[in-house]
Amino acid sequence: MNALVTGGGGFLGTAVIRRLVERGWSVRSFCRRRYPHLESLGVEQMQGDLADEEAVSEAVREVDLVLHIGAKAGVWGKREDFIRANIEGTRNVLSACRRCGVRRLVYTSSPSVVFPAGDMEGATEDVPYPKSYRSHYPATKAVAERMVREAAGSDLATVSLRPHLLWGPGDTQLIPGILARGRTGRLRRIGREDKLVDFTYVDNAAEAHVLAAEKIEVGSPVSGKVYFISQGEPMPVWTFIARVLECASAPPLRPGAVPAGPAWLLGAAMEAIWKILPLPGEPPLTRFLVEELTTAHWFDISAAKRDLGYTPPVDMEEGFRRLADWFSRQPTVKS
């Protein structure tokens, strides 16, 4: 089988490619640049931008399956950049699949496309899309997910996966974000409750993608469906953060907690300042981040278990063990 992985050089994309190669697939990666670690896996690499329709079409030619993982992530940035990568890019992938006769597509979405203003506890896939979003990322990913679901039909089978909060050795977003704040020794809890949150070890998310790739075909019962993916072991969010700091030998959380209300207002103020001036980078605190840290969001993954045969191979404790071992071999990133 021949597969194209968009965003193949990224954190999740690399983990998915490794699993595909292990299963004997021939893999092509589509990214903006080349990656030495993909060369070592024997992966064909094509460079381009997801918003470039011609480049995407060239990448999709002569493959049996597309795993569309590439996206612009983050809680801050220009709206047009998110639209270009997440909406226009997904539209180009869908068009290229039809044009090139590709009949199977696995799409990487996000649980944030259905986040309400409040807790999500044991949520299932029938949770509706909210009317508004705090960030461009979930807003654009929701549009793209709907496009993928609606594209499923007699000529194309699609499956959308929603892995929540990817983590593990080599993570480029969640763990670096925690450590950037934690290594200052000034990281303090927000909110007085330690809410339950789902996390997804990267190898588990990769396994779910490969299982979906092996399951879907035109006319199959999983085509057009969406699935939450996680560890299946929700953990108090600040407990998780404390464990990550411990694995990295970083300073522990400061005692005490900042009330959620004032933190939310501070996040709103920082957003306004960053927009008005404007300042480089992203604000150290945003409303979306405060809500992520002070609300419960964990999901029922029984549908993925039933339909895809998904069972997370790496539990939380094993994940922390692997993370600590990885940090022990990275002396330059230890505090």
Rounded to a whole number of angstroms, the CA Rg of the chain reads: 20
The CA angle 52-143-294, to the nearest 5 degrees, is: 120
Distance in angstroms (rounded) separating the CA atoms of residues 246 and 9: 28
Distance in angstroms (rounded) separating the CA atoms of residues 41 and 250: 33
* DSSP one-letter string for 109-146: --GGGG--SS-EEEE-TTPPPPS--SSHHHHHHHHHHH
- The residues carrying an active-site annotation are 137
3 state DSSP class of 230: coil
CB within 8 A of 75, min separation 6: which ones? 135, 137, 282, 286, 288, 289
Distance in angstroms (rounded) separating the CA atoms of residues 220 and 278: 49
Cα–Cα distances in angstroms (integers) from residue 330 to residues 18, 148, 317, 334, in the given order:
22, 39, 20, 7
Distance in angstroms (rounded) separating the CA atoms of residues 123 and 130: 14
Asked whether the CA dihedral 239, 184, 137, 271 is positive or negative, the reply is: positive
* DSSP one-letter string for 58-69: HHHTT-SEEEE-
